[in-house]
Amino acid sequence: MGASPIFPGVPLRAGMYESFYLRAVAPDEPVGAWIRYTVHKRPGRAPRGSIWCTIFDASRGRPFMHKATSDQLHAPAGGWIAVGSADEAAPADANQSGGAGSSADAQENSRAGERAPDGAGLTPGEAWGACGAARWSLRFASPEPELRHFPRQWLYRTPLPRTKLTTPIPGARFDGTVEIAGREPIRLRGWPGMVGHNWGSEHAERWIWLHGIGFEEEPDAWLDVALGRVKVAGRMTPWVANGALALEGRRLRIGGLGTRGLQVRETAEECRLQLAGESGLKIGAQVRSPAQSTAGWRYTDPDGGSHDVANCSIAALELTVISEGAGAQRLLRAAHGGAYELGMREHDHGVPIAPFSDG
């Protein structure tokens, strides 16, 4: 369910949004990609698809950002989502699983610098597309099963919470190429990352997404946690966290309703968290974005409301981990392996917002 597209089965009368997204980060420098394939549907209208491409490079300052929106949207056979002129933007074997050494390697630079039609597609093993001056052809795989953030399956079937999320491909490795006109191609060879999926009738009133990978002390460890606050009867609820930490071959669940000890101090470019979970798990997290390296986007709800969203996918992340049976306190550090996103209503956060909308 979580890894299958939701939008094809939504009634015309309903409003909804859906997002498949990926991030990949270089192992040895603060360079990374965050690419989203989204659906926006107002009640009574047909859904529209968008491609959001953000490329981070701390040495260049502000990220490259572009977005393209299209009425062309479908769920391809064996895939998740295709937006715009996806068939024209795709490599010849884009609908195959395409592991390392596939024929896509020979095509990655065949149209370097050429302006392709905006379009993109995503399957369980490949991502490809063109968006403005950017073009990408990526393959990915993970030995791990899907992460379902909510601890109970029935929460994915009920109206509340209004936002559902899973990580179909946690702890992934990426190969391929990202090209931006006028720059040297970025070649991915075993870059760590993930592929996520969320959908719902409206966004949370305020949210944080924190992902961590590429830790110095534990290269196979990863953190994936979402926190949210919603309005009930005009009042904001406390923060609720859901997610997991994968460490030393174990997946430790974080948060859930009724979990105590959650503390949050957040701004658009840094955050401090105290998280708790199963087996006495306690995590202290500190995340900070490099200067000028936060992307600002505006997300529109199906009802016409909107949030400003600040995201940095090359953030410095430090975790202090305590859990039963794990022995002494553990310190995990990723110099640029963190992804930190804050969704908010306010506009005085200091991050420039890209001039794109869902329309």
Percent of the chain residues past pLDDT 90, beyond the cut: 76
Inside any domain, residue 58: yes
Whole-angstrom distance, CA of residue 291 vs CA of residue 21: 24
- Say what the pLDDT of residue 232 is: 86
Average pLDDT (250-269) is 90
Number of domains in the chain: 1
Whole-angstrom distance, CA of residue 53 vs CA of residue 298: 14
Inside any domain, residue 42: yes
Inside any domain, residue 356: no
Domain range enclosing 279: 13-344
- Whether the CB-CB separation of 177 and 186 falls below 8 Å is answered with yes
Percent of the chain residues past pLDDT 70, beyond the cut: 89
Whole-angstrom distance, CA of residue 344 vs CA of residue 207: 7
Inside any domain, residue 273: yes
Q: Is the pLDDT of residue 284 over 80?
A: yes
Inside any domain, residue 359: no
Whole-angstrom distance, CA of residue 265 vs CA of residue 227: 12
Token pair of 114 as six digits? 């050429």
Q: Is the pLDDT of residue 31 over 70?
A: yes
- Say what the pLDDT of residue 325 is: 59
Token pair of 87 as six digits? 């068939």
pLDDT bin (cut points 50, 70, 90) of residue 116 is: low
- Say what the pLDDT of residue 357 is: 72
pLDDT bin (cut points 50, 70, 90) of residue 324 is: confident
Residue-wise pLDDT for 138-157, tens only, equals 999 999 999 999 988 889 98
Token pair of 329 as six digits? 């306190």
Inside any domain, residue 3: no
Whole-angstrom distance, CA of residue 96 vs CA of residue 103: 10
- Say what the pLDDT of residue 260 is: 82
Alpha helices in 58-183 (DSSP H): 86-89, 104-107
- Say what the pLDDT of residue 326 is: 56
Inside any domain, residue 5: no
Inside any domain, residue 8: no
Write down the pTM of the prediction.
0.90
Between these two residues, 358 and 256, which has the higher pLDDT value? 256
Residue-wise pLDDT for 187-203, tens only, equals 999 999 999 999 999 89
| pLDDT mean across residues, the chain | 89
